[in-house]
Amino acid sequence: MESPDDDARIDPTVIDAIGALGNERRLEILFALADREWERQTNGHVMSFTDLYDAVDVDSTSQFSYHLKRLVGQFVAETPEGYRLTYAGDKIVRAVRSGLYESTPTFEAVDVDGTCPLCRESTLVADSSDERFVVRCAACDETLLVDSFPRSQAASRSPSEIAESFGSRIWSSSVAVQGGVCSECYGSVDATVETLERDELTLHTLVSTCRECRMVTHLPLEVPVAFHPATVGFLWRHGISILETPLWELFGYFTADDWTTDVRSLSPLEARFEITLEDERLVLEMDDELTVTPVSDGDSHDLPAGE
């Protein structure tokens, strides 16, 4: 396992690459390539040296060549046909255009649906704090969810639309994480289960950490169960659409009397989940590989082993 000191030893080529971006002309080159892709609606579109030179406000070809050379490799790919953005170059342009390097505006707090798992009051509020998106309970003042809040997510959206967009974004990220893929850099993630005791309530959290960028994601252990096809169909029959239900609304479902989570062992992980709605029962189990298996169908019939 890497030590914290490993982070201090940054590859000099990385420092050099980041330093290459500290110039207006070089950013103009990246934007010119990106603009041509947008105009042609084609990823990886190639521009000739002459076309690229004409698109950038620079005094001479020698000066342009110098700046272009500083970008080739990490941010611009040189091909026999010309030049195009690399993945890193594309990400830089999108980061600048989306306002990643600018402060995120606040928005007026807005009521959202859902029940607080701690006080059981239906008084959830979506708000912003220190450039973070927050869902909290107005009754007990408990913070239930915190997520990063990029400036672009606030653009052209009302407070209610911002909250709705986070519902979709969190689900898309959780699908990636459940597949072992980091939602930020697409590296591999490792998962562990943590237990939290709060006011006679036991909560189990799936903590996923990216091996590459070290992004950490916390989700209720019940989320992989909720996404299992058997659960999706079961809940659908009872009027609940998982992908249209934000995570903060599911907090109330996961801690209600009709959903039972029984973690029998953390190492190795052995957990059993029982959902009962309108006298219909679904039972599922989760193993140490986070594999979810139904052990009874929605009609409360036990399933043969292996189904």
Indicate whether 299 pLDDT > 70: no
Q: What pTM was computed for the model?
A: 0.84
- pLDDT tens digits, residue range 82-132? 999 999 999 999 999 999 999 988 999 999 999 999 999 999 999 999 999
Residue 166 and residue 126 in contact, taking contact as beta carbons nearer than 8 Å: yes
Give kind and range of the element (H or E) at residue 262: strand 259-266
Q: pLDDT value at position 14?
A: 86
- pLDDT tens digits, residue range 198-252? 878 899 999 999 999 999 999 999 999 999 999 999 999 999 999 899 999 999 9
Percent pLDDT > 90 in the chain is 80
Percent pLDDT > 70 in the chain is 94
Count of all residues that appear for the chain in the document: 307
Q: Where are the alpha helices (DSSP H) in 75-138?
A: 87-97
Give the confidence band of 1 by pLDDT, cuts at 50, 70, 90: very low
Residue 118 to residue 71: CA distance in whole angstroms:
53
Residue 299 to residue 71: CA distance in whole angstroms:
62
Range 68-89 average pLDDT:
95
Beta bridge partners of 18: none
- HSE toward the beta carbon, residue 274, CA cutoff 13 A: 12
Q: How many CB atoms lie within 10 A of CB 101?
A: 8
> Mind listing the domains of the chain with CATH numbers?
5-97 (1.10.10.10), 110-196 (no CATH)
Indicate whether 3 pLDDT > 60: no
Which candidate, 291, 25, 37, places its Cα nearest to that of 180?
A: 291
- pLDDT tens digits, residue range 6-51? 555 788 888 888 898 999 999 999 999 999 999 988 888 899 999 9
Q: pLDDT value at position 90?
A: 96
Mean of all residue pLDDT scores within the chain? 91
Q: pLDDT value at position 300?
A: 54
**In whole angstroms, what separates CA 149 from the centre of its chain?**
11
Residue spans of beta strands (DSSP E) within 112-253: 124-129, 132-137, 143-148, 189-198, 201-210, 216-220
Q: pLDDT value at position 132?
A: 95
Residues 6+ apart with CB under 8 A from 62: none
User: What counts of helices (H) and strands (E) characterise the chain?
Assistant: 10, 13
